[in-house]
């Protein structure tokens, strides 16, 4: 019989045993309150690996005393989905709806996700999907609109070490051992916030030292995990660290680093569509109007990758990554929308000035809608100075052109039109 891993042996038996995610299952957490009311919505749990998505789904079903069904998006087809739904709806004839848990729901095709819609809409099944990918990209809109999205956070160092201490105190196979945690830096680094990986790595380090006292050091952890590093990469367990290094290399204008981390993702089996999406985001967030062609390049890359597939798609990704790394950088568009959102959150729903309001009927025209609006194309150079912000925030500055050639040209035009109104210089 195969040995049960430590992470599985230590899987929480109740919500109170779950470490972390207080914003969801703490005493004031939204999921805790939903469970107390018995009105549980269908949901998507989004977060990195090893933070408790599967555990939460099981505990929710147990707490509500509902039948629990599970499917893996890797091995299940539309037929499997329909069979499980039929079985779950049969159970629901005499009880509350069953819980259907779908692990890695982002891997479900559109047809598979479509097959869930009816049951979720009827409420005969409460869906809990788990994903490490942004559900806005990976879950169809019709299904996502019927679900709440809850974001799970990576565990911090204190929470991870608390899990190790709990294992030493409660696990039948470890609590009799003498284990000294002399150094924990390498163990925490190897975990990447993934509790499952950390506990299993910790157990391997203990077992590798044989019977007797175990002294955990960084060197001991490195000796154990170095032989597993390639397999970790291939399974995507360094997903977040590597994509972070990739993005930061491009932002830092280093094409060598960009291509290296791209190669790591290619060799590790990363989803090329995920890489392409991140390039599209970066093209606006970190380059923006310093080189508007960057966004065109990135979106074309995403389309090309979808058309030609793998492995040739890696060449297109490489070209795009190099172009973006070499492009001038500006985060002015990113900062502008952030400033504008902060103003909206601070000031609320300010009224649209009358001259900017739509005036489709005689009644609203009589109320002054559209009165005083100047049609810009009637002015010299297609410009007429007028106020476009609510009265309460007139003169606010959200966008400041970056110190690059293209945006400075934009700044010169704005100054020529507006004078010193927005103090763009």
**Is 29 in the same domain as 147?**
yes
Distance, CA of 256 to CA of 262 (rounded, Å): 10
Say yes or no: 44 and 96 in one domain.
yes
Q: How far apart are CA 155 and CA 161, in angstroms?
A: 10
The number of CA neighbours under 13 Å toward the Cβ of 297 is 22
Domain final residue, candidates 181, 206, 227: 227
Q: Is the peptide bond before 311 cis (omega within 30 degrees of 0)?
A: yes
Q: Is residue 372 part of a domain?
A: yes
Q: Please check the confidence at residue 93 and state whether its pLDDT lies above 60.
A: no
Percent of the chain's residues with pLDDT above 90: 12
pLDDT category at 96 given cuts 50, 70, 90 is: low
Instruction: Provide the domain count of the chain.
Output: 4
> If you search the block for the tokens 């100075």, which residue do you land on?
385
CA dist 214 → 11, 188, 208, 401 (Å): 24, 18, 9, 59
Q: Report H helices in 171-291.
A: 185-191, 195-208, 218-225, 229-234, 239-251, 255-268, 272-282
Based on the fold, state whether residues 104 and 35 are members of the same structural domain: yes
User: Looking at the predicted structure, is the pLDDT value of residue 235 above 50?
Assistant: no
The span from the CA of 91 to the CA of 85, in Å, is 10
List, for residues 268-312, the tens digit of each pLDDT value. 778 888 899 999 999 999 998 889 999 999 999 999 998 888 788
pLDDT digits (tens, 9 = 90+) for 382-397: 887 888 888 888 888 8
Can you give the CATH number for the domain in which 409 is found?
1.10.3710.10
Which CATH number does the domain housing residue 204 bear?
Answer: 1.10.8.60
Instruction: Answer yes or no: is 30 within a domain.
Output: yes
Angle at 346 (CA atoms; ends 341, 348), nearest 5 degrees: 85
Nearest Cα to 199, choosing from 231, 150, 155? Answer: 155
User: Given this model, what pLDDT does residue 281 score?
Assistant: 94
Q: Give the list of residues 6+ apart from residue 301 with CB closer than 8 angstroms, or none.
A: 276, 279, 280, 316, 317, 319, 320
What's 96's domain CATH number?
Answer: 3.40.50.300
Burial class (CB in 10 A: 0-12, 13-18, 19+), 35: middle
Total-model pTM: 0.54
Mark which of 102, 130, 151 sits at the end of a domain.
151
Res 231: pLDDT: 38
Flag whether pLDDT at 215 surpasses 70.
yes
**DSSP result, 136-191:** HHHS-HHHHTTSEEEEPPPP-HHHHHHHHHHHHHH-TTTTTS-EEES--HHHHHHH
Span 53-66, pLDDT tens digits: 888 888 888 888 77
| 10 occurs within a structural domain | no
| Mean pLDDT along residues 402-420 | 82
* Spatial separation of the C-alpha atoms in residues 309 and 199, rounded to whole Å: 37
Asked if pLDDT for residue 72 goes beyond 90, the answer is no
Q: Any idea what the CATH number is for the domain that residue 263 is in?
A: 1.20.272.10
pLDDT for 114:
84
For the stretch 299-331, what's the b/e string if a residue is b when 16 or more beta carbons lie within 10 angstroms of its beta carbon? eebbebbeeeeeeebbebbbebbbbbbebbbbb
Domain presence at residue 383: yes
Task: Find, among 274, 345, 347, the residue nearest to 305 by Cα.
Answer: 274
Cross-strand pairs, 71: 102
369, pLDDT greater than 90: no
Same domain flag for 71 and 143: yes
pLDDT of 320 over the 90 cut: yes
**Best CA proximity match to 150, nearest among 47, 77, 302:** 47
Are both 142 and 205 inside the same structural domain?
A: no
Cα angle 94, 43, 4; round to 5: 85
Residues 161 and 147 in one domain: no
Question: How far is Cα 120 from Cα 112, in angstroms, rounded to an integer?
Answer: 13
* Overall average pLDDT of the 305-329 stretch: 90
Domain endpoint, select from 116, 151, 186:
151
Would 109 be classed as within a structural domain? yes
Mean pLDDT of the chain: 82
Provide the CB-side half-sphere exposure for 264 (13 A, CA): 22
Residues 43 and 105 in one domain: yes
Are 377 and 409 part of one and the same domain?
A: yes
131 and 223, same domain (yes or no): no
Q: Would you say residue 334 lies in a domain?
A: no
Q: Confidence band (pLDDT; 50, 70, 90) for 238?
A: low
Query: Tokens in use for 293?
Result: 């062609």
* pLDDT score at 232: 34
Whether 32 and 105 share a structural domain: yes
Q: Are residues 221 and 282 in the same domain?
A: no
Query: Could you tell me if residue 338 is inside a domain?
Result: no
Q: Which of 256, 267, 183 has the alpha carbon at shortest distance from 229?
A: 267
Same domain (yes/no): 141, 33: yes
How far the first Cα of the chain sits from its last, in Å, is 72
Q: How many helices and strands in the chain, by DSSP H and E? A: 21, 7
What is the domain extent for residue 306? Answer: 239-326
Q: 102 in helix, strand or coil?
A: strand
Burial of 392 (0-12, 13-18, 19+ CB in 10 A): exposed
275 token code pair: 């890489």
340 belongs to a structural domain: no
């Amino acid at each position: 019989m195969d040995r049960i891993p430590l992470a599985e042996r230590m899987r929480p038996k109740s919500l109170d045993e779950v470490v972390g995610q207080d914003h969801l299952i703490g005493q004031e957490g939204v999921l805790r309150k939903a469970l107390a009311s018995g009105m549980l919505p269908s949901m998507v749990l989004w977060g990195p690996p090893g933070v408790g998505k599967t555990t939460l789904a099981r505990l929710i079903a147990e707490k509500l005393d509902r039948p629990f069904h599970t499917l893996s998006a890797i091995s299940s087809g539309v037929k499997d989905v329909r069979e499980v739904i039929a079985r779950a709806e049969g159970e629901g004839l005499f009880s509350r709806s069953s819980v259907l848990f779908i692990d890695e729901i982002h891997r479900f095709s559109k047809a598979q996700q479509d097959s869930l819609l009816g049951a979720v809409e009827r409420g005969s099944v409460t869906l809990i999907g788990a994903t490490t990918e942004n559900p806005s990209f990976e879950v169809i809109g019709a299904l996502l609109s019927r679900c709440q999205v809850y974001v799970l956070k990576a565990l911090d160092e204190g929470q991870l070490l608390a899990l190790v201490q709990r294992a030493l105190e409660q696990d039948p196979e470890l609590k009799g051992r003498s284990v000294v945690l002399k150094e924990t830096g390498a163990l925490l680094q190897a975990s990447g916030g993934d509790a499952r990986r950390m506990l299993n790595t910790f157990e391997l380090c203990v077992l590798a030292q044989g019977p007797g006292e175990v002294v955990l050091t960084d060197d001991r952890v490195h000796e154990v995990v170095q032989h597993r590093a390639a397999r970790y990469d291939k399974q995507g367990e360094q997903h977040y660290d590597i994509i972070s290094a990739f993005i930061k290399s491009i932002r830092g204008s280093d094409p060598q680093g960009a291509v290296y981390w791209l190669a790591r993702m290619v060799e590790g089996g990363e989803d090329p569509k995920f890489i392409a999406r991140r390039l599209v985001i970066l093209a606006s967030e970190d380059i923006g109007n310093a080189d508007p062609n960057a966004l065109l390049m990135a979106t074309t890359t995403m389309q090309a990758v979808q058309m030609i597939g793998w492995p040739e798609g890696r060449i297109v990704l490489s070209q795009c990554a190099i172009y973006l790394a070499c492009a001038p950088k500006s985060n002015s568009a990113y900062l502008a929308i952030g400033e504008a959102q902060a103003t909206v959150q601070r000031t609320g729903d300010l009224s649209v000035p009358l001259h900017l309001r739509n005036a489709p009927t005689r009644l609203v025209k009589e109320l002054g809608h559209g009165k005083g609006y100047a049609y810009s194309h009637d002015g010299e150079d297609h410009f007429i100075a007028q106020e476009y912000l609510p009265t309460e925030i007139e003169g606010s500055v959200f966008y400041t052109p970056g110190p690059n050639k293209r945006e400075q040209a934009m700044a010169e035009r704005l100054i020529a039109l507006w004078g010193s109104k927005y103090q763009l210089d």
